[in-house]
Amino acid sequence: MATRGRVILTISVGALLAAFVFYPRQEVPPQPYPLALVWREAYQHRLPEYPHESIVAGHQGLAVAALWLNADGSLRHFSVVQAPDEAIQKSVLASTQYFRVGPSLLGVIPLRRSKLLYYFLLDQGHARVVPLNDLSQKAELLRTLKSRGP
């Protein structure tokens, strides 16, 4: 009887190992993550530069970058999904090399999905980039745009 038990155990262990080896792992879907929190958790970031050709052309507006972060905060995926022009898109892409985030403050999340929002603004001859993930900067931008009127 002991031999029969060992055979059954060996077959069971073999089947279990085969399941791990031969069947593909399921990817964990990214969990949505608050925009303001991902900005606050960033320990290193640099604003994109406002490209000279965009300033000369008078291009301004919202640029949106989508990012996926691993549990440790490293970037898994980054893309610019909206930008006023190609030069601004390239500037936002270039700024990602300086974006570093730590682990989530909300606990272990295997894969986080969030966005970085930048508003490229031409205001009375001054060009500036406003990070909208920073809520105080967002409020300041809204006051500026409201004071301009329609």
- The whole-number pLDDT of residue 24 equals 53
- The whole-number pLDDT of residue 136 equals 86
- The whole-number pLDDT of residue 143 equals 86
Alpha-carbon span 116 to 92, nearest angstrom? 9
Residue 117, domain member (yes or no): yes
- The whole-number pLDDT of residue 97 equals 80
Alpha-carbon span 128 to 137, nearest angstrom? 12
Residue 11, domain member (yes or no): no
Structure tokens at 33: 């993550």
Alpha-carbon span 53 to 118, nearest angstrom? 18
Length of the chain: 150
Residue 3, domain member (yes or no): no
Per-residue pLDDT 10s for the chain (150 aa) are: 567 666 565 666 566 555 555 555 556 788 999 988 898 888 888 999 999 999 999 999 999 999 999 999 899 999 999 999 999 999 999 998 888 898 888 888 899 999 999 999 998 889 999 999 988 888 888 888 888 776
Query: How many domains would you assign to the chain?
Result: 1
The single-letter DSSP state of residue 134 is S
Alpha-carbon span 131 to 92, nearest angstrom? 11
Residue 1, domain member (yes or no): no
The parent domain of residue 130 ranges over 29-148
Look up the CATH number of the domain holding residue 116: 3.30.2420.10
